[in-house]
């Protein structure tokens, strides 16, 4: 990585990229190509997971530009909100099938980016079709269902961009839960814009997770 000062033009370019970034405020971003690493290489997911396991004090992703992103801490309440979401999704999954995934799981999009959701679910057919290596490391493609929860330090815009990356990558249903504003953005495949729900009591899994009802007001908005 270069330590030379950036030119004004380069600084402007960097600022523009930040404005369109899906990375949360406070992230540390490192260029992988400067380290001689090709994030599109076939063996990169397994190497990435090995690196994460060796540095498990940090949550990490790889973005579409091939940069390693070290994510900021969520905080205690934010972690509880993620956990409650995963508990309810896990209960539904046990009765209805498929495979749910939590905060530390990673998915590799077609761009080569490796992203992590706050909660996710994939069909049993997709899980069965994956290789043993993919099940052990990074799962191919976006989840069928994905949840992102805004923490107290998150800006909304980067999370909205991340949700769009999930949908562009093949997700069929997504919830962006915004506790500070008691609002949920529901993303659906084929729908140009998400639907904004103001202070909903429950969220419906619709045709992707038939019969799944999540008490978002109880488990997220009203959490003490």
Is the pLDDT confidence value at 19 over 70?
no
Structural domain contains residue 163: yes
Question: Tens digit of pLDDT for each residue in 142-161?
Answer: 999 999 999 887 899 999 99
Task: State mean pLDDT over 76-105.
Answer: 96
Question: Tens digit of pLDDT for each residue in 151-207?
Answer: 887 899 999 999 999 999 999 999 999 999 999 999 999 999 999 999 999 999 999
One domain for residues 65 and 89: no
Q: Which domain holds residue 141?
A: 76-221
DSSP line for 165-199: HHHHTT-SEEEEEEGGGTEEEEEETT-SSPEEEES
Q: Which of 71, 92, 116 delimits the end of a domain?
A: 71
> Which tokens hold the place of 65?
């530009």
One domain for residues 86 and 20: no
One domain for residues 101 and 130: yes
| Confidence at 6, pLDDT banded by 50, 70, 90 | very low
Q: What is the pLDDT of residue 148?
A: 97
- d(Cα 192, Cα 170) in Å, to the nearest integer? 14
| Confidence at 73, pLDDT banded by 50, 70, 90 | confident
What's the whole-model pTM score? 0.88
- d(Cα 86, Cα 22) in Å, to the nearest integer? 23
One domain for residues 165 and 200: yes
Task: State mean pLDDT over 82-106.
Answer: 96
**Burial (Cβ within 10 Å: 0-12, 13-18, ≥19) of residue 6:** exposed
One domain for residues 165 and 84: yes
- d(Cα 19, Cα 16) in Å, to the nearest integer? 5
One domain for residues 81 and 169: yes
What is the Cα 119 distance to its own chain's centre? 8
> Would you call 159 helix, strand, or coil by DSSP?
helix
One domain for residues 135 and 53: no
CB 185 within 8 A of CB 194: yes
One domain for residues 30 and 91: no
Q: Which of 175, 172, 111, 115 is nearest to 139 (CA)?
A: 115
| CATH number of the domain encompassing residue 185 | 3.90.1570.10
Q: What is the pLDDT of residue 152?
A: 81
| Confidence at 26, pLDDT banded by 50, 70, 90 | confident
Total domain count, the chain: 2
One domain for residues 216 and 148: yes
């Amino acid at each position: 990585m270069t330590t030379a000062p950036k030119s004004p033009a380069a600084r402007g370019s960097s600022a523009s990229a930040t404005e369109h970034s899906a990375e949360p405020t406070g992230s540390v971003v490192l260029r992988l190509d400067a380290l001689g690493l090709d994030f599109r290489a076939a063996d990169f997911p397994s190497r990435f997971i090995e690196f994460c396991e060796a540095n498990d004090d940090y949550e990490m992703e790889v973005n579409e530009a091939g940069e390693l992103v070290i994510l900021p801490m969520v905080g205690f309440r934010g972690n509880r909100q993620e956990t409650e979401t995963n508990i309810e999704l896990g209960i539904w999954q046990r009765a209805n099938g498929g495979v749910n995934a939590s905060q530390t799981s990673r998915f590799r999009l077609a761009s080569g980016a490796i992203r992590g959701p706050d909660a996710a679910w994939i069909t049993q057919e997709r899980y069965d079709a994956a290789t043993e290596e993919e099940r052990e490391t990074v799962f191919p493609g976006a989840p069928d269902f994905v949840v992102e929860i805004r923490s107290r330090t998150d800006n909304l815009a980067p999370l909205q961009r991340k949700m769009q990356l999930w949908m562009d990558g093949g997700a069929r249903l997504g919830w962006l839960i915004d506790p500070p504003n008691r609002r949920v953005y529901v993303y659906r495949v084929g729908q140009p814009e998400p639907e904004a729900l103001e202070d909903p009591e429950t969220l419906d899994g619709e045709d992707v997770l038939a019969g799944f009802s999540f008490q978002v007001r109880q488990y997220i908005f009203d959490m003490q």
